[in-house]
Structure 1
Amino acid sequence: MSHSVRALTTMVRELVGAGELAESSGVVAFRWREGEAVPGSVAVGTVEVPVAWAPSELALRVLLAEPGAAGPRVVLTPLEGRQLAEDVRARLLSRQVHELRMLEVLRRRLGAVEVSPALAQDTELQRVLLDEVDDAFLERVPAGVLDREMALAWVVHHLLGGKQAPTPSVLLGVVQRMAQRAAGIPEGVLVGVSERLSLAAGPVGRLVGEWLVRGGGAPGPWVQAVVAEAVDTAGRAGVGGRTLGQAESVLPPWLREEAAAGA
């Protein structure tokens, strides 16, 4: 699902959920770029809300004049609200053409009253939250404030495939899957992820984070460094030992094999 379609779906769901767009009727208009694919509908719960394209004010008038089926309708148009006549705007929800701004979509979706300046300026991270992160890892904001650190934590959970803490042993067990999931995430966001992993899992977290920033790929020399750190970490924690042969409790099979091959 493209960013625009996901943002549109989120906005329509939120408008219906907040009671702003009646479930029984109502027309909501969103500004949409010409040439971008127009979905036939968006899902709101078990209901498919129909979507129509109106490239001009005349086309919009025709759509508004058509007898609609029961339930809300969505109209997409390249026009701004100020380009429409007053009688046309009067037929639309809030008498306007809504803009699909990523930050507004996130704010509505997560129940945020306030967004931190750092996240407000980080459009790459906003896009990742909308396009890449599984819905299961996005949470309503309990205190009403959505900040960048919270957003990066959700990206880490998405990469891990779960909400477990990113300990060295957890990271080493799923690092290959993390690299696959990181494929669509911009380098700038991965740098932030790397910083969080370093804080949470020390040198192993730093090495895994750096590998993700570089785009994953063949482990190569990275394996020797991460094995040394993992073995040392295990030794300090009293788990396993400080040699490769004693580190099986903290190294996944694929990493032991890579390390043995490069030894």
Structure 2
Amino acid sequence: MATPVISVDDVGIRFKRNRQRSRSFKDLFATGERRAKPDEFWALRNVSFDVQQGESIGVVGRNGQGKSTLLKLVAEVMLPDEGRISVRRGVAPLIEITGGFVDDLSVKDNIYLSAGLHGKRKAEIDAEFDDIIEFAEIKDFVNTPYRHLSSGMKVRAAFSVVSRMDEPILLVDEVLAVGDRGFRNKCYARIEEMLEEGRTLFFVSHNSGDLRRFCQRGLYLDKGRLQFDGGIEEAFNRYETDYTG
């Protein structure tokens, strides 16, 4: 069997209630069983699964069950308190994609900065710049300070940059909830193109239609635990049985 591009092995992560999460030196290097203190809770616990290149995975579950946290762990935005995550290929993270854009810089400068941070060379950005602007529909705002864009325009600019990355793993959160239907359809068409290229998709959404459209496999999370791993329809059936049955 081929080596998985993503391996999640008995992963857990905990947070403090009503406070920012903190990590002490002892937390990072302690061994053995780690118990949550009374003011802490496990957002994820004992989660394990593998993802093969070219799979499309949808994460199913209610709010607050650890779906977006899992995506951030795979993106290495966060580190687990328990277990191990291995990502063997590069990722294009469509999660909080406007993060890292600088309000006082122009849209043009932000595009060069963001694409550069994602590994694009200046010559590559030069060659793709017009297409990025056209896709984002922000041609008239190239020299506008980023802070003056609407929230929808910021998402369009960020998506246009990140979706041009060549990384084989695509991580998608609820980033397309902002913006008009026409642009969302363009984004969905771009995601479908990326899947046709053989990329791997890891998708978190509360829109069951989107998950069914893009994903064949479903992970059902409840109370921070992986309750089901199988076909996307079976994942929805399990979820709906638990909360409507």
- TM bucket (normalised to shorter chain) is under 0.3
Higher strand share goes to which structure?
2
Which structure has the larger Rg?
1
Higher helix share goes to which structure?
1
TM-score computed with the length of structure 2 as normaliser: 0.27
